[in-house]
Amino acid sequence: MRRVLPLLLLLWCTAATAAIQPRVVGGHVVEGDEYPWLAALIQREEVLTAGGRAIPFEYVADAPQHHFSGPLVYCGAGPGPCPDANNRVCLIERDFFLFADSAMSRCAEGGGVAAIIYNDTPGSSGAIILGDPPPIPAITISFEDGQYLLGHLDETATLAYSDTPPAESFCGGTYLGNGDGAGWVVTAAHCLRDPTPEAAGLLVYLGSDRLNQRPDHVFRVKSYLVHEAFDLDTLDNDIALLRLDGAPQGIPAAPLVDNATLDQAIAAAAPALVLGRGYHQQRGPDDEFEEESFDPQGYAARVPLVSRTRCNTAYRDYYEQTVGAPPALDPITPNMICAGSDNGGVGTCQGDSGGPLLVDDDAGQPRLAGLTSWGAGCAAPGLPGVYTRVPNYARDIEAIMQGRSQRLGKTATLASSEQRDEEGGGGDVSPPALLALLALLVLSAPRIRHRKSHP
Catalytic positions = 190, 238, 353
For residue 392, what is the DSSP state? G
Q: Do 174 and 357 form a contact (C-beta atoms < 8 A)?
A: no
Residue 288: name the closest of 451, 444, 447 by CA: 447
Instruction: Give all strands of the β-sheet with 46-50 in edge-to-edge order.
Output: 53-55, 46-50, 156-161, 68-74, 89-93, 114-118, 138-141, 58-59
Write phi, then psi, for 5 (nearest 5 degrees). Answer: -60, -45
Give the C-alpha distances (Å, rounded to integers) separating 152 from 90, 116, 161, 198, 217.
12, 13, 22, 31, 39
Q: Do 402 and 179 form a contact (C-beta atoms < 8 A)?
A: yes
Residue 331: name the closest of 257, 226, 231 by CA: 231
In DSSP terms, 253 is beta-bridged to: none
Of all helices (H) and strands (E), which one includes residue 233? none
Q: What is residue 442's three-state secondary structure? A: helix
Distance of CA 390 to the CA centre of its chain: 18
Strand locations in 150-283 (E)? 156-161, 171-179, 182-187, 202-206, 218-226, 240-244, 271-276
CA separation for the pair 256, 386 (Å, rounded): 18
Q: CA 207, 210, 213, 215 torsion: positive or negative?
A: positive
Q: Do 299 and 26 form a contact (C-beta atoms < 8 A)?
A: no
CB neighbour list of residue 99: distance below 8 Å, 6 or more residues apart:
77, 92, 93
